Amino acid sequence: METYLQKLASGEDLTSIEMKQAAELLFHESTTDSEIAAVLMGLSLKGETPEEIASLVEVLRDHALSFQKKFPGVMDNCGTGGDRSYSFNISSTSAFVIAGAGVPIAKHGNRSVSSKTGSADVLETLGVSLDFSADEVEELLAENGIAFLFAPHVHPNLKQIMKVRKELRIPTIFNLIGPLTNPVELETQMLGIYQRKGLHMMAKALHQLGRKRAIVVNGAGYMDEASLAGDNHIVLLDQGNITEFTLAPEEVGLTRYPLEAIRGGNVKDNARILMDVLHGEKGPYFETVLLNAGLAVFAHGKANSIQAGIDLARESILSGSALEKLNYLVAYSNQRKVG
């Protein structure tokens, strides 16, 4: 570890091989909390590279829950958190809409980061289990087209690293990589980040991780979701090619709303908002989900334009298909608890 710490202290980037070796040492029982903190601080102070991010993610996935089956076209739509917008659970609500539009989704998530309640909090309140086994996740993806993966459950070996990260109380590389560490092998992804300067870096990391297509978005107001408040800064990764553009809600037939219009509340409030959207209640929550789900469906490639993606997202909700995906997940969870 000393060799890598010296390089980081000198402001030098680690190669992919060096980063993988350093990451493996983070899991070693002989590695101290101080060494873990020094690695995280060293990376943060010099600035993380796409190679370092991708290499760390590959090691984390090697130590995560293992899946045997592959699901063609499966994606995730998890954001990094950290935007402190205290919005409702946009990506969780959007995940059911994406699945209802026919795109398989392995929804990776955790408890609260930047909203008052995280995806795990609100889904648990709605009756979704947080401890699905690998076999159950694979069954849900095959039968329902959506499964939820609770980050601490699928990454059981990260306790010491997470303890150090929490004690540091500053952003580290782990504030960037959460959405990348989904242990299901993804082909496409919708990723939200609150740091606009990181758009290209995260797109390059996604490419190194084997994503065929992906969208990385920094929303108006520096949200880690697409926002109706103004111009969204977006990077599209398509077969290794990276294109940057901006998107305003009016360009795709949506209404501009201030960030305050999509504030969430406690876990019960956010669960109610999620259900209201899936029941088709119009307003800023509904249109925010249309925008985010539409971008994800376009990122996947099922729609050939963002507008077409939004149209499929609207149909997913109004047809009841999105709600059916949630109801199946809740019923499955209840059945396993009884059994």
* Angle at CA of residue 160, ends 159 and 162, nearest 5°: 65
Residue with tokens 């943060």: 44
Q: How far is CA 193 from the centre of its chain?
A: 9
Q: What residues are designated binding site for anthranilate?
A: 79, 110, 165
Q: Report the SS3 class of residue 86.
A: coil
User: Taking a C-beta distance cutoff of 8 angstroms, is the pair 300, 268 a contact?
Assistant: no
Compute the Cα dihedral for 277, 81, 19, 215 and give only its sign: positive
User: Taking a C-beta distance cutoff of 8 angstroms, is the pair 225, 219 a contact?
Assistant: yes
Helix (H) or strand (E) holding 236: strand 232-238
Q: Report the SS3 class of residue 191.
A: strand
**What is the Cα–Cα distance from 167 to 115, expressed in whole angstroms?**
21
The pairing of beta strand 146-150 with beta strand 105-109: parallel
Q: How far is CA 15 from CA 4, 19, 125, in A?
A: 10, 6, 43
Through-space distance between the first and last CA atoms of the chain, rounded to whole angstroms: 47
Q: What residues are designated binding site for Mg(2+)?
A: 91, 224-225
Q: What residues are designated binding site?
A: 79, 82-83, 87, 89-92, 107-115, 119, 165, 224-225
* Angle at CA of residue 149, ends 144 and 153, nearest 5°: 140
**What is the Cα–Cα distance from 268 to 253, expressed in whole angstroms?**
30
Q: What residues are designated binding site for 5-phospho-alpha-D-ribose 1-diphosphate?
A: 79, 82-83, 87, 89-92, 107-115, 119
